[in-house]
Amino acid sequence: MDSKELALFCRECAENRKGEDLVILDMRKVTSLADFFVVCTGTSDPHLRAIVSEITERLKTDHGIKPRARDGVGLASWVVVDYADVIVHVMKSEIRAHYDLEGLWGDAPRVRKPRAKAKKSVR
């Protein structure tokens, strides 16, 4: 799985747990920190934990991928999961607005969600 596929998979997992305002920033031409940032909002501490758990458990069970590091687990308003080339940020809305990662890294292009393949109609 390349870094873009990993970022898209993380977004899909966050969507499964109703993560809000999901954004993937393509950091490859902006910084050497990571290839992609996945940023999403959770509405409460349990919601943040559910989103992070969905991402980490699905990557572990489906692809054998474990995070390099995690920070903010527990009662935190911002959880960071580091997969080396992809860094996932799950935050409460007030923290996200305050730190404004999308603004800070405003020159990083956003990755659009791939379109679902259209079904062929049978006539």
- Domain definitions of the chain by residue range: 3-104
Check residue 120 and give its pLDDT.
59
pLDDT score recorded for residue 9: 97
Residue 10 DSSP SS3: helix
Q: What is the average pLDDT value for the chain, to the nearest integer?
A: 91
pTM: 0.89
Superfamily of domain 3-104: Beta Polymerase, domain 2 (3.30.460.10)
Letter for the amino acid at 90? V
Through-space distance between the first and last CA atoms of the chain, rounded to whole angstroms: 38
Whether the per-residue pLDDT at 114 is higher than 80: the answer is no
d(CA 11, CA 51) in angstroms, rounded, equals 10
Closest CA to 21 of 121, 85, 95: 95
Q: Based on DSSP, count helices (H) and strands (E) in the chain, helices before strands.
A: 4, 5
Residue 123 confidence (pLDDT) above 60 = no
Q: pLDDT grade, residue 112 (50/70/90)?
A: confident
Q: What pLDDT is attached to residue 75? A: 63
102, 91 in Cβ contact below 8 A?
no
**What gap in Å lies between CA 123 and CA 120, rounded to an integer?**
10
pLDDT of residue 23 exceeding 90: yes
Q: Tokens for 52, please give them.
A: 């992070």
Taking residues 61-84, report their average pLDDT. 90
